[in-house]
Homo-oligomer: A and B are copies of this chain.
Amino acid sequence: MGNSIVRNYRLPIRIYYEDTDAGGVVYYANYLKFLERARTEWLRSFGFEQDQLREQDGILFAVRSVNINYVQAARFNQQVISCVDDFSLKRASIAVQQSIVMQDGGASVVNAEVNIVCLDCDKFSPKPIPERLYRELLACK
């Protein structure tokens, strides 16, 4: 698999009114918020805080592309799980496979691939992922 690395992360999320729309279901853009919450908590689970990465390493992560499929709508008050399922790693980017599933039963809500690039905070140009984070990600194969 080359540098394809696996570590799962699962974040339970409750659906509040703020997340829904007049169709009675989660507004389609809001799933991107849920996906990002899982990525943030996943990095935190390795001990990496994005505000520290910014201050200490001068980097931030920016989303370059999202490819998302909406399988089934989640409704007000339901509980879903936002997942990091897999990822592949390059020196300055990460392609993250993510999904959101129903907590009860595990039915698929959305599937997504999110491509993230590591940027220099000031120049907004690509910059290698900080060494200690890169190593942690490599190590979780």
Digitize A18-31: 1 where CB-to-B-CB distance is under 8 Å, 0 elsewhere: 10111111011110
A72-100 at interface with B (beta carbon < 8 Å): 73, 75-77
| Contact indicator B28/A63 (Cβ below 8 Å) | yes
> Contacting chain B: which of A1-9, A33-41, A101-109, A125-133?
A33-41
- A70 at interface by CB-CB < 8 Å: yes
A134, chain B: closest CB distance, angstroms:
21
A16's partner among B40, B49, B67 (CB-CB below 8 A) is: B40
A32's partner among B20, B28, B37, B60 (CB-CB below 8 A) is: B28
Given contacts A20-B22, A29-B29, 10 further A-B contacts (CB under 8 A): A17-B22, A18-B33, A21-B21, A22-B24, A28-B32, A49-B77, A50-B77, A51-B75, A65-B69, A67-B67
- 29 A-B contact pairs sorted by A residue (CB < 8 Å): A16-B33, A16-B36, A16-B40, A17-B21, A17-B22, A17-B23, A17-B27, A18-B21, A18-B36, A18-B37, A20-B21, A21-B21, A21-B22, A22-B22, A22-B25, A22-B76, A23-B60, A28-B36, A29-B29, A49-B77, A50-B76, A51-B77, A64-B69, A64-B70, A65-B68, A65-B70, A66-B66, A67-B68, A73-B124
